[in-house]
Structure 1
Amino acid sequence: MLQRKFTGYLYVLPCFLMILIFIYFPIVQNIEFSLFEWSAFSPERTFVGLTQYVQLFHDPIFYKALTNNIYYAVISMIFQVGGGLVLAAILEDKVFRRFSPLFRTVFFTPVIISITVIALLFDFIYHPQVGLLNGFLSAIGLESWTRAWVGDSATAIFAAIAVSQWQSIGYIMMLFIVAIQKIPQELYEAAEMDGASKVQMFFHVTIPQVREMTFVTSTITLAGAFTVFNEVYILTGGGPGHASEVLGTYLYQSAFINDQMGYASTIANVILAITLVISLVQMKLSKTGEE
């Protein structure tokens, strides 16, 4: 009887150990690292306590990076979660269902392409002289709108955000498609018999029924918005003049360019705290996450 009681724990023990070693131990170690001022090229560490946290919260570059991450989060919620849900609902509508496999492939293809390839592609699209975007604007008579998109401090961060939306919306769309396919068709048939339009069915049947998936996709999207690195680093490197800096690129710059490993650990802990708080607030406000 005792052996049977502990058998289940033995099955989950390997997974628990992996989580403990590769997730929780590094988190605790990184918190320890943030309390010291140290270099990657020296074994010596100087204990500074919370000094680096105080320094971070007085750092104007940190607030610029945080603001850019907030831009990322808001725009991603609108286009990835909102846009992904709308696309999924359209593709699962019986009128468009025959073309659905083709469009699923088209929208999902960017997800499986290397972000390096995508960033280089958009670097060409944004090119101020031979870029497709400026060429298109000139062709339709909007030459005054042309600019060096990733070289202009006013547009650099939004150019990087646009790349993320283009790549990730297909993934969120596929998650919503799976959720929509689980909705009983009787609900749509009943709504149609009551005279509901497509838009009314979307708001009163689809959205309530995919609430759990909306929570999942929102969590994924917001966490990704505050940990974004690749797109910004490849396209702009955080420039010009920190205009497109995000927390991920500022962490990288602090650790591997300025050799401020303790300060970089502090930034990492702040990113962790932000994503954790966002997830907890989402769970509380949405009153979901049980399934």
Structure 2
Amino acid sequence: MLRKKIRIIPILFLLPSILFLVTFVYIPLVQNFYNSFFDFSVFSPEKTFVGLENFKVLLSDKVVPVALINVFLYAIISVALQVGFALVLAYILENKFFRKVAPFFRVVYFMPVMISISVIALLFGFVYNPQMGLLNSFLELIGLESVAKAWLGNADTAIYAVIAMSQWQSIGFIMMLFIVAIQKIPNELYEAADIDGAGNIRKFFSITVPNVKEAIFVNTLITVTGSMLVFNEPYILTNGGPGYSSITMSVHMYQQGFVKDNMGYASTLAVMIFILTAVLALIQIRISRTGKDD
């Protein structure tokens, strides 16, 4: 009887999180997949079954390829900066020569994470303003007037301007995760490397990177998944414009569902986003082989 009680205790601890996941994740996921086979309005109780018609529309939707290119571009740049550059920053701040000033710079880099995305979008709206924006004013100050342009109003630069804002806000968060991982590395490894005459670059690639590979995997997974789901930045700054040049899958889904009142097709786009994100996550898990003995 006592053994049965002991076995039940872990299940009781897990039960609240399982119920939460089932209620707010898995049931809505199944419901959304079900909705993708219907044509209906957000305020209408009636649904018209259309079978695979929404998926046929998805294949012929000219906005989807543009949105996919944007989210993949978003993911590539985010991995390079939010993961790669954040790891370098964390390594520098944990270096013994910077430990006295490291707390100050941690606050400086992490502060954008605590600011509301709406406030940041308003801030970068001023930065990108073509007439009196800080970016164009700075370019004119250093003699690069020819480079200055309407960053958010130009189809060639809008998506890059949106991505740049996101990097500014998110690098500090990933950096802090790397700092925690680096602090767990035994100091004896760095001392042995110093005795062998290894430089900072050699210690970074030979000691730091191998010992934070779990953190690299987690941060890459967070970054790539977030890139597939990105909505706030392009919606607030450009609403996917000009035209569809900076649109993402989430913005396109929102516009279809709540602007054009086509909830059935919006559900289909949501299914595609889920499948795409899940496949990329599985690929990363497969490649990284994290948690397995070498």
- Tell me the TM-score range normalised by the shorter chain: over 0.9
Partner of 1:167: 169
Deviations 1:201-240 (A, max 9, x none): 0001000000000011001000110111111111100000
Q: How does 1:268-283 map to 2 (within 5 A)?
A: 268-283=270-285
Q: How does 1:15-164 map to 2 (within 5 A)?
A: 15-164=17-166
Q: Is the 8 A contact 1:188 1:205 kept in 2?
A: yes
Which of 264, 271, 281 is 2:266 aligned to? 264
Q: TM-score, normalised to structure 1's length?
A: 0.98
Q: Offset of 1:5 from its aligned partner? A: 2.5
Q: Which moved more, 1:247-256 or 1:38-47?
A: 38-47
Which of 240, 243, 261 is 2:242 aligned to? 240
Q: TM-score, normalised to structure 2's length?
A: 0.97
Deviations 1:173-206 (A, max 9, x none): 0000000000001111111111111000000100
Q: Which moved more, 1:39-48 or 1:196-205?
A: 39-48
Deviations 1:156-188 (A, max 9, x none): 000000000000000000000000000001111
Letter in 2 for 1:80: Q
Gaps of 5+ in 1: none
Q: Offset of 1:3 from its aligned partner? A: 3.2
State the identity %. 54
Q: Is the 8 A contact 1:283 1:289 kept in 2?
A: no
SS, match of residue 100 in structure 2: helix
Q: Offset of 1:289 from its aligned partner? A: 4.2
Structure 1 ranges of 4+ moved more than 3 A: none
Gaps of 5+ in 2: none
Q: Is the 8 A contact 1:255 1:264 kept in 2?
A: yes
Which of 8, 11, 31 is 2:10 aligned to? 8
Q: Offset of 1:50 from its aligned partner? A: 1.9
Q: Offset of 1:254 from its aligned partner? A: 0.3
Partner of 2:190: 188
Q: For residues 272 and 262 of structure 2, what CA distance do their matches in structure 1 show?
A: 16
Deviations 1:4-46 (A, max 9, x none): 3323212221221111111110100000011111111222211
Q: For residues 93 and 51 of structure 2, what CA distance do their matches in structure 1 show?
A: 54
User: Using a 3 Å threshold, how does the CA distance of structure 1 residues 35 and 290 change in structure 2: closer, same or farther?
Assistant: farther
Which of 248, 254, 257 is 1:255 aligned to? 257
